[in-house]
Structure 1
Amino acid sequence: MRPNAWKDFLLGAEPGPWDARLGAMWKRVVAECGAADKLAAEHGIVWEELPHETKICLAVDTHHGEILDIAEAALRTRIEDWQREARYARIHRSMPEDLAGLVPADVGTLRAGLLTPKDFRTSDYSGKQLRMERLVRALTGTAAYLAAAHMIPAGLALDVVTTAPLDTETLAALRLPAPWSLVVHEPVTLAAAQADDTELTRLIEAGQCAGHQPAILGGLLAASDDGSLDTTAGFLLLTVLDGSGRRVWMLQHTAYGDHAGGRVLHGYAAQLAFARWLQPPTLPDLGPSSRSDSRSALARVVRSEAGQGGGWHHVRVLDFTPPSDDPPPERTEPTGTGTPLTTGTWRRAHWKPGVRIGVRDMSGRIIGPVYKSGAIEGVTFTRQPRFFPRTRIRPDLPLARTTTVYRPPH
């Protein structure tokens, strides 16, 4: 990517530095993970009273002259979760190099891969760059293990990442299902995420929306106390190949807004707020004689359908029904009074506000009419935003060329 391209993609025109925003998220994470309570109980330090407005508190001096590494303390509240997922990942499988064909159980492997044993050790914080890297890894690593895990099926990943900007009404209605939500899907290239409509069509036709280029794997989003989207900061899960050709991934802070990274975060938030998500499958009963923490018992879970389906990691999967493979009926006559169209096109995925949604009973069946006679708003249907995947417009017409054809003069 060109110089400053990462900054433009992630932060847009958001002015720097980002210390204050990350500091606010760090203050929240330390409190929510339980590290703040431990500081108070063991050292008499009140986390809320530290000077968070003027500095990011990664380490503090105790009343006895001891330096406490707060990042280490926060991460250690999640170390057992990390060790369990890392152990599961070793039994589960090696991740494919291109990260294609992900299953819900892979969420644990990706989350465990955000941290290394070194992250759980005390740091000397020598150098500004080290301090910022330490902050981001401790903040995102801890928050990822506080988060409810979600997975988007492969067939919908590109549409979710390239969703059109949300309208004001839909943005105001966003409510997240948990204080922290982790969303994971198969890689979608950064080029696709920031492409306009014409370029997106070209990339899709050329098969260039996945591959070895820098790509997005998901995101980490936070909710405010009332469930609304906390726009202080979000985090995109990015993947690249390092200098040795090894696949790595990391959570990177991202601003909300009308730039590529911000639009992706809003697309995730809309799915979390309005889409249907399947509950994690129930794991098989291992029987009274099996130790749940033994390798053999864990291997049985790993091999089970429920284990592959994310039951062990408590992953909720987006309940998405792909469009029909049957071709739509052809239109024989143009409608309207404008100039007749001669070519078709594609409309990118988008959310439409105020669509009627049928009310369902406990078994998932719609209880009454939605549009026909007898439909009653608030009883048989409600109105809320509805997601429309990328759709072919006027499929009866040929697509417009996306590549200029040059003909030599006669």
Structure 2
Amino acid sequence: MDSETLLARITDYASRPDPYPLYAELREAGPVVWQAGGNCLIGGYHHVAALLHDPRMSADPRTGGELGHKPPFLRLDDPEHHRLRNLAMRPFGPPHSPGRVDGMRGEIRRITEELMTSFEPGRQVDIVDDFAYPLPVTVICRLLGVPHEDEPLFRAWSDVLVTAADVRPDADSTESDKAGDQARIEMGGYLLELAERRRGKPSEDMLGAFVNEPDPALRLTQEELAETAVLLLIAGHETTVNLITNGVLTLLRRPDSLDLLRREPHLLPSAVEELLRYEPPVHMRERIPHADIDIAGTTIPRGTSVVLALASGNRDPKRFHEPDRFDPARPDNQHLGFGGGIHLCYGAPLARLEAQAALGALLPHLGTAGLVQDPPPYRQNAMLRGPRHLHVQF
């Protein structure tokens, strides 16, 4: 009976500081763990990875009977997902070329150094509000062409949308869904207006690239442009904030790992991959099969809400040696931190670049830093798990 409440217990705010014992319970309970609300949980690495790549698993909420507007490409299936994702990725640059993201290296370094000027000895700072949030927000604003002074406006919309996007123990709609729909409409309208100002006026930003696409076959409709711009703006900073903050928290809790990285900074890219495994910014993804699926002798009927616990798979001892140990030099680290399959995180290169720049800049200072509160207060969202504040004394 306890296994039927696992999702409710995992998403309970009391579990936010350390959900990993519950993930171990999930893996022990079996490949498929049915929940009281009629949905099921899957937490083993190999099963989660297989289902992320299974074309029978739909990301579209309408597959489960939900009505509503057409979702962004993150929640669509191929071939429509493939078309919109490719169109959204075009302004980033052609495949296998440096493109816009690689061209941001110097800018990311400069923004990071600018934010670091307030980190003075004896001062207490909030890693979230003073560093981990403003860095990716500034970067994505410049990439998209969003005025940074409008940040309070879209932050409020983002908070509402992130709350609505959380995984819930049951499938009932709530007031947060309605609020999320309203925030999406308002944010989409705001971004469309910004894009329209660039029509016929060449610009270096992505909104300008979208609205001035010369090939009619490659243009986004108004609705597609609004949904894509909202997705890029939110996804361009929300998960990176968690990745950077979880990284600082992990290193301050593990002085040996911190000392290793300070001595051998060339391990930083490997350490970021380990953070994506050990303390991932995204813990769960929901999928809905559009055909019956058999998992180790258990049939999951079509239309069932299936919660794939990525963070549980990342700690699966059947895949990773000593999975509960943080190892900055871990080999063969094929984690699920960016998901997998056709929906593998399209912003992964930018997130890696920002996390490496942020942690690299912080490393020289963290040796004399201490946590003011451990565990820190966490965000409400269980799917996008990370501290809401992380106060550090330098």
TM-score by length of structure 1 reads 0.22
Structure number with higher helix proportion: 2
Q: Which has the higher contact order (CA 8 A, sep 6+)?
A: 2
Structure number with higher strand proportion: 1
TM-score by length of structure 2 reads 0.23
Q: Which has the larger radius of gyration?
A: 1
